[in-house]
């Protein structure tokens, strides 16, 4: 029995294992490897759970605001400022976790309720399925945050990112100042044109007044001459 052809599929196209074609030409089930595939970072949560034995949704969350020196405790900071850093980024957290050998994955578009405008967080596995620690020197999230605060400033990738960020900001500032200068020059030209037009108008009015005055003088002289005669 020949397999029905789906619209838009080339001739001879074979469905991958795990798909079944029901009546009507539509697939009946998704492959198991995509059963819990979130959109945010393409992480295969089922594969992570199978590999480490712990549901990835139960891994500890780390938001950048936890170690941001610019944040207050009310704004989400979790540790003392002396252990915090400026402008922490999820990729900084991920790189340190990778160095420490701690499984992690990044969730994009996840925001802290007190730091709504900074998106993304990192989930980190600190304990194995049997409750044993992945690292003895990182027994909990607090110790992980301290380690992040100490190691993030040393990351070469962070230095490169911040330098690029400075260059982008400087370029935007330069473009903004150039645009402001352009706007200022246009306004000055408009003002000069307006002043020139006003001067021409005033000169014309003065000339008309002078002509009227001259005509009045001439008529007055003519009347005097008439009276003398």
Task: Calculate the average pLDDT of the chain.
Answer: 81
Average pLDDT estimate for 147-171: 91
Q: Is pLDDT at 191 greater than 70 in this prediction?
A: yes
The per-residue pLDDT for range 192-221, each reduced to its tens digit, is 888 888 888 888 877 777 777 776 667 667
Sign of CA dihedral 116, 118, 119, 122: negative
Kindly list the distances between the CA atom of residue 144 and the CA atoms of 14, 61, 150, 156, 158, in Å, as whole numbers in the listed order. 48, 11, 10, 20, 18
226 pLDDT exceeds 90?
Answer: no
| Residues sharing a CB contact under 8 Å with residue 3, sequence separation 6 or more, in sequence order | 15, 21
The residue written with tokens 């402008």 in the block is: 87
Distance CA 178, CA 207 (A): 43
* Model pLDDT, residue 67: 95
pLDDT at 26: 47
Please give the share of the chain, as a percent, with pLDDT higher than 70.
76
Is the pLDDT confidence value at 156 over 60?
A: yes
pLDDT value of residue 109: 83
| Confidence category of residue 51, pLDDT binned at 50, 70, 90 | very high
User: In this structure, are residues 65 and 74 in contact, taking their beta carbons and an 8 Å threshold?
Assistant: no
pLDDT at residue 37 tops 60: no
What is residue 228's predicted lDDT score, i.e. its pLDDT? Answer: 64
């Amino acid at each position: 029995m020949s397999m029905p052809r789906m619209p838009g599929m080339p001739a001879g196209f074979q469905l991958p294992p795990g798909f079944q074609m029901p009546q009507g030409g539509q697939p009946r089930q998704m492959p198991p490897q995509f059963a819990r595939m979130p959109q945010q970072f393409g992480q295969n949560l089922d594969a992570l759970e199978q590999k480490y034995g712990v549901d990835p949704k139960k891994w500890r969350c780390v938001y950048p605001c936890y170690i941001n020196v610019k944040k207050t405790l009310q704004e989400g900071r979790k540790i003392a400022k002396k252990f915090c850093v400026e402008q922490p980024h999820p990729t900084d957290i991920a790189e340190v976790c990778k160095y420490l050998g701690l499984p992690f994955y990044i969730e994009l578009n996840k925001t802290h309720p007190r730091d709504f405008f900074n998106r993304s967080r990192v989930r980190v596995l600190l304990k194995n399925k049997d409750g044993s620690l992945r690292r003895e020197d990182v027994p909990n999230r607090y110790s992980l945050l301290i380690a992040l605060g100490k190691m993030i400033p040393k990351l070469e990738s962070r230095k490169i990112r911040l330098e690029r960020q400075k260059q982008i900001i400087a370029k935007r500032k330069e473009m903004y100042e150039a645009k402001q200068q352009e706007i200022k020059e246009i306004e000055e030209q408009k003002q000069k044109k307006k002043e020139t037009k006003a001067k021409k108008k005033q000169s014309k009015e003065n000339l008309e007044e002078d002509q009227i005055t001259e005509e009045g003088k001439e008529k007055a002289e003519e009347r005097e001459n008439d009276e003398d005669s």
